Structure 1
Amino acid sequence: MLTKKQRDLLIFIKDYIQNTCLSPSFEEMNAGLDIKSKSGIHRLINALVERGFLARLPNKARALEVRKLPENVSSPSNSNTPAGRASAAPPKNNDAEEVAQLPLYGKIAAGTPIEALRQEHDMIGIPMGMLGVQPCYALTVEGDSMIKAGIMDGDIVVIEKCDRASDGEIVVALVDEEKVTLKRLRREIGSIVLMPENDAYQPIRLAPNRVRIQGRLRSLLRSY
């Protein structure tokens, strides 16, 4: 039997993942349940994990996964995943999910192109359910330009390698062969627009020959 707050938090997390395919941050859970302290949310999460309703994915950067729901609450569905959103790992019945080791190339921000980072990089374990068919790599997000897409500073994004993407997808874009950024892709006549998801930032409008796509957002891990 869950308490009202435990049930409310579980439903909030379920709905958030269903709508965004991302785990909510502590701040979002605090606001959603009108709870003032992170410790209160932390205790509720621990209780839901102990009762088998939630699971933390087995990585340093942890993400939440809904394992089961109370009666009369519908299960989350991935059938309406929005374009350009990170895909959440599907629920598993086993506790030891297979993990793949991906290269963690560094921070995605203005700076060194991804190719230059491949000589030295760390590795990170990512659940197989969060990967695509094509090879993937991981990057650490630096900055808040994509917060309205649920992507926060410090998140680790899993990127599926590709050199083409559809309008509306969130992509890793290499600009002028020297600056890498994570933005939503939009095409206009004669230009490529890299759209932020934060009103404090302006769209980046460039000639197509100045932009090279290096991957699309596949999924995301968040530390708790």
Structure 2
Amino acid sequence: MVKLTARQQQVFDLVRRAIERSGFPPTRAEIAAELGFSSANSAEEHLRALARKGVLELAAGASRGIRIKPEALDDFDSPHQFTLPHPAIQQLSLPLIGRVAAGSPILAQEHVQQHYAVDPSLFSATPDYLLKVRGMSMRDAGILDGDLLAVQRKNEARDGQVVVARLGDEVTVKRLRRHPSGIELVAENPDFPSIMVAAGREDFELEGIAVGLIRSGDF
């Protein structure tokens, strides 16, 4: 078993809890704020130390580009999280949803572009479908244009989870924040506005929660 310092264990546990709670790892700034570091650079140093010890992988250029390595899940008895597909283990067949026509169910046959076979252990919970991401409004959550978002169908979500929501004629991927007056769909890119949804708005519907992410080029 890999031995971690007390501080490294705190960072590892924070990353694990964030993935379990929302489906995505924290940013360096969030780690620093949570653990009282002086700056995001301090968080980065601990993450790099964890990467050198083989329990994390870090993706360059993505603020949430942190992945717990599968062998670390076994070592530390952590819950499963998403990873990249392994070609030798493909068991779960998921429909890939492309553009969604206004007013029609998201899993309607005409929206299904194809099916992908993937390992179900890649995800924090069992997904019902893959949604092709369009645009860069969730860039700082590590969700990029063309990515395949693994989605579990739900009509409720916890505060802070990344969700797929229908608003009028549009289906969008955003982080959900609850307010006394309604719901905020938060973009994770300062170039894009967040969306406020008043309580009781009839053209709003939650389609599901994100439980994992696959780069489309990884198939």
TM-score past 0.5 threshold: yes
TM-score (norm 2): 0.59
Give the TM-score taking structure 1 as reference length. 0.58
Aligned residue in 2 for 1:169? 161
Picking from 51, 61, 65, the partner of 1:11 is: 51
Q: Distance in 2 between matches of 1:123 and 1:213?
A: 23
| Percent identical residues | 30
1:156 aligns with 2:148: yes
Query: Which of 178, 184, 191 matches 1:187?
Result: 178
Deviation at 1:136, TM superposition (A): 1.1
Q: Note the C-alpha offset of 1:77.
A: 5.5
Q: What amino acid does structure 1 have at the position aligned with 2:145?
A: D
Mapped to 1, the partners of 2:93 and 2:78 lie a distance apart of: 28
Q: Which residue of structure 2 aligns with residue 200 of structure 1?
A: 191
CA distance in 1, matches of 2:144, 2:75: 23
> Of 186, 201, 206, which residue of structure 2 is paired with 1:213?
206
Counting only pairs closer than 5 Å after superposition, residues 65-214 of structure 1 correspond to structure 2 as 66=69, 79=78, 87-89=81-83, 96-107=88-99, 112=102, 115=105, 118-120=108-110, 121=112, 122-131=114-123, 136-176=128-168, 178-210=169-201, 211-214=204-207
Gaps of 5+ in 1: 1-7, 18-23, 33-63, 82-86
Please state how far the C-alpha of 1:163 moved relative to its aligned partner. Answer: 0.5
The residue type paired with residue 88 of structure 1 is F
Q: Tell me by how many angstroms 1:96 deviates.
A: 2.6
SS at match of 2:184: strand
Structure 2: stretches of 5+ with no match in the other structure: 1-47
Q: Hey, what's the Cα distance between the residues in 1 that align with 2:188 and 2:79?
A: 20
CA distance in 1, matches of 2:132, 2:140: 17
Q: Which amino acid aligns with 1:213?
A: L
What secondary structure is seen at the aligned counterpart in 2 of 1:11? helix
Query: How many residues in Structure 1 have an aligned counterpart in Structure 2?
Result: 161
Q: Letter of the 1:198 partner, please give it.
A: N
Moved more, 205-214 or 184-193: 205-214
Structure 2 CA distance for aligned equivalents of residues 91 and 114 of structure 1: 30
Q: Deviations over 1:57-84 (max 9, x none)?
A: xxxxxxx994669xxxx98868499xxx
Q: Which structure is richer in relative contact order (CA contacts within 8 A, separation 6 or more)? A: 1
In structure 1, distance between residues paired with 2:106 and 2:84 = 34
CA distance 1:16–1:201, change in 2 (3 Å) = farther
